[in-house]
Amino acid sequence: MSFLEKLNSMLTRKQKKYVDVDREELIRISLDRGEAALAKKGALATWTLPESTGRSPADTHIVRHPESEDRIDWGPINHPMKPEVFAMLEEDALKMLGHHDAVFETNRYLGADGKYSLHVRTVTASSLTALFTCNMFREMPEGHESGVFAGKPFTIVVLPYHKLDIEKYFGKLRDVRTDMAIAMDMDRRIAIIIGNAYMGSVKKTMFTVMNYILPNEGILPLHCSANEGKSGDIALFLGLSGTGKTTISSDPKRALLGDDEFGWGANGVFNFENGCYAKCINLDSVKEAQIFNAIRHGAIAENVMVYPDGRLDFFDNRLTENSRASYLLEAIGNVKMSAVGGHPKRIIFLTADANGVLPPVARLTREQAMLQFIMGYTSKLAGTETGITEPQSTFSAFFGAPFMPLKPDVYAELLGEYMDRYGAQVYMVSTGWSGGPYGVGERMDLNLTRRIVTAVLEGELDNVEYRENRRFHFHVPLSCPDVDPTLLESKTTWPDQSKYEPHAEKLAGDFRETFERKYLGRVPDSVAAACPGR
């Protein structure tokens, strides 16, 4: 018997089950139930528990089955869970749902390309979680009925404000070590979230599922945003949370396809989602007007400070640095609603370098692009994960290692194949610090980053002179239209340039150590030679 069948047989006459309730009705129910407060312009403000203001990687698990265990890259990111422990979670989830007067079910889809869309069934006791899935997941796309996943729905059960009995789990099987769990059973097509109220855990759980199933169909899943120019040219922006995917891709001169999750296959790219989930801390109403104006009726403002009169304060970080807003893609205004496009000609790797070492822009060769894709360097920013209070250098494969459950070779080979086939040019853009490291220098000015990105996308950097950075093995432009050339070289922005070299050498050493520990011998020699510090 499936989870849904068990749930339906368990519900009593006193409990009400809402199935695919209209979005406007979910907004009303969420306000009536006190799950959110009404903010200015009609946004719904909500607050999560202190331990639920970001993802919790240590509590995220994948059920280990003999039939599929060889496909998964088990280790410090992909934690295995025994099937019997997951069965305990299912039993507890059913009991928890039974204690509520109402249960909500939504049936949505991931994947704008109907051939590869996945039916996602969400079951939750939270009307606001149900609304979140309506914001973020899609309605049934055309062609889904004959798609490769037709008739194979994936169920996700979400109980954000319940807590697990630690003694029950830790004392027996030790797979669960805290009072929360985020677990996926890929073979049985069900995931369970208990105790984590951060809404990003819902979308990232399903992103992980897509990243598991799509490569087998020849689709490369990417942690990226995408937009399209007037001539139909597609640009992709890869990066971890906090690097600027949403902000940089929200360009009034280019149509947005989506801000976070995409697939790239033989027919081009397609967005997985229906909405955006943007970071709100220090959101500027002028520099980030599209995002600011999208936080209106039906948007969910998560952990944003709100005043009694309903005003949202995006500059107050007392709740968390990771305040977020969930809103429909169409709220941006300048979007391509089909959310599909051709093959990208420009790919930008975004990194928030807290060391202040990397230049604001660099051009990468094919081998350098492959190396940087595998390494996925950035600095984790405060609030994106539980316990992160200031930027920390990190290497996250494919700019999304926590969501990429298969072995790295799978994703790397697909990227190399598609870069060769479609001739995409890759650039690295740093949205991190300039003039020194975090605490000394300042964050890259958004207007500067936007101007550089525009130059990349419009081909203005194609024929300028470049200088090779021998330490990091990439090429830095000596000029960029409307940009002070002294800003293009990181070292010249440091007041005391003698302090630059030790920081640069350390970062290059971090690259080398991480590469040799994780990837040496697993990639071609030409790619290995592109590793900084080697």
The residues assigned a catalytic role are 55, 204, 223, 241, 245-246, 260, 324
Cα dihedral 202, 207, 208, 213, rounded to 10, equals: 130
Q: How far is CA 439 from CA 296, 363, 380, 434, 443, in A?
A: 34, 28, 15, 11, 10
Nearest-angstrom CA–CA distance, 472 and 468:
9
Two structure tokens written together for 124: 């939750």
DSSP string, 202-267: HHHHHHHHHHHHSGGGT-EEEEEEEEE-TT--EEEEE--TTSSHHHHH--TTSEEEESSEEEEETT
Other Cβ atoms less than 10 A from the Cβ of 234: the count is 25
Beta bridge partners of 227: 235, 256
Instruction: Please answer whether residues 203 and 136 qualify as being in contact, where contact means their C-beta atoms are separated by less than 8 angstroms.
Output: yes
For 83-143, strand residue ranges (E) read 102-110, 118-124
The neighbour count for residue 274, using CB atoms within 10 Å, is: 22
Measuring CA to CA, which residue among 272, 303, 290 is closest to residue 136? 272
Residue 523 CB contacts under 8 Å (≥ 6 apart), including other chains: 370, 371, 374, 412
Q: How far apart are CA 6 and CA 295, in angstroms?
A: 38
Return the bridge partners of 104, or none.
18, 124
Strands 79-81 and 60-63: parallel
* Strand 377-380 with 392-395, pairing: antiparallel
- Per-residue three-class SS string for 351-420: ECCCCCCCCCEEEECHHHHHHHHHHCEEEECCCCECCCCCCEEEECHHHCHHHCCECHHHHHHHHHHHHH
| Residue linked to tokens 């069934």 | 121
Residue 499's CB is within 10 A of a number of other CB atoms, namely: 15
Question: What is d(CA 443, CA 360) in angstroms, rounded to the nearest whole number?
Answer: 11
Q: What are phi and psi of 237, to 5 degrees?
A: -125, 105
